[in-house]
Structure 1
Amino acid sequence: MLSETLNNVNTYAPKSRMELIDYAFEHKKILIAVNAEKILHATNESRAIINRNLGYPDGIGAVWALHKKGHKSVVKIPGCELWLDVVKQHFKDKSFYLVGGKQEVIETTVNKLQSEFEGITICNYRNGYLKTDAEEIDLIADIVKLKPDVIFVAMGSPKQELLMERIQQHHKAVYQGLGGSFDVYTGNVKRAPYWWVKNNLEWAYRLVSQPSRIKRQIHLLRFIVNLHLNRY
Structure 2
Amino acid sequence: MTNDKISLNGVEVFPFDSEEELLNYINKFKGILVAINAEKILHATEETRAIINRNVGYCDGIGAVLALKRKGYKNVVKIPGCELWLKIIHQLYQEGKSFYLVGGKQEVIEFTVAKLRKEFPGISIVNYRNGYIKTREEREALLKDVAKKKPDVVFVAMGSPKQELLMEEMQERHIAVYQGLGGSFDVYTGAVKRAPAWWVEHGLEWAYRLVKQPSRIKRQIHLVYFLWLLGIGKI
Fold match by TM threshold 0.5: yes
Q: Which residue of 2 aligns with 1:159?
A: 162
Q: Which moved more, 1:175-184 or 1:123-132?
A: 123-132
Q: Which residue of 2 aligns with 1:104?
A: 107
Residue 159 of structure 1 deviates from its aligned partner by 1.0
Structure 1 distance, partners of 2:128, 2:214, is 35
What TM-score does the superposition give when structure 2 sets the normalisation length? 0.94
Residue ranges of structure 1 left out of the alignment (5+ in a row): none
Q: Which residue of 2 aligns with 1:198?
A: 201
Deviations 1:17-71 (A, max 9, x none): 1221222331202001110111122332332222122111000110010111111
* Pair 1:30–1:211, CA change in 2 (3 A): same
Residue type at the aligned position of 2:29: H
Q: Which residue of 1 aligns with 2:146?
A: 143
Which of 70, 77, 87 is 1:75 aligned to?
A: 77
Structure 1 distance, partners of 2:21, 2:152, is 18
Q: Is the 8 A contact 2:13 2:58 kept in 1?
A: yes
Q: Is the 8 A contact 1:2 1:14 kept in 2?
A: no
Structure 2 distance, partners of 1:85, 1:41, is 29
Q: Which residue of 2 aligns with 1:9?
A: 11
Q: Which residue of 2 aligns with 1:89?
A: 91
Structure 1 distance, partners of 2:21, 2:125, is 24
Residue type at the aligned position of 2:4: L
Q: Which moved more, 1:197-206 or 1:13-22?
A: 13-22
Structure 1 distance, partners of 2:26, 2:152, is 11
Q: Is the 8 A contact 1:25 1:174 kept in 2?
A: no
Q: Is the 8 A contact 2:35 2:59 kept in 1?
A: yes
Residue type at the aligned position of 2:23: I
Q: Is the 8 A contact 1:7 1:42 kept in 2?
A: no
Please provide the CA RMSD for this pair: 1.3
Q: Is the 8 A contact 1:96 1:148 kept in 2?
A: yes
Q: How does 1:23-102 map to 2 (within 5 A)?
A: 23-93=25-95, 94-102=97-105
Q: Is the 8 A contact 1:34 1:62 kept in 2?
A: yes
Residue 101 of structure 1 deviates from its aligned partner by 0.8
Q: Is the 8 A contact 1:98 1:126 kept in 2?
A: yes
Residue 12 of structure 1 deviates from its aligned partner by 0.9
* Pair 1:187–1:226, CA change in 2 (3 A): same
Q: Which moved more, 1:59-68 or 1:218-227?
A: 218-227
Which of 176, 186, 189 is 2:189 aligned to?
A: 186
Kindly tell me the number of residue pairs found equivalent between the two proteins.
232
Identity of aligned residues (%): 66
* Pair 1:113–1:7, CA change in 2 (3 A): same
Q: Which moved more, 1:127-136 or 1:80-89?
A: 127-136
Which of 168, 172, 194 is 2:171 aligned to?
A: 168
Q: Which moved more, 1:145-154 or 1:37-46?
A: 37-46
Q: Is the 8 A contact 2:31 2:171 kept in 1?
A: no
Q: Does 1:131 align with 2:163?
A: no
Q: Does 1:208 align with 2:220?
A: no
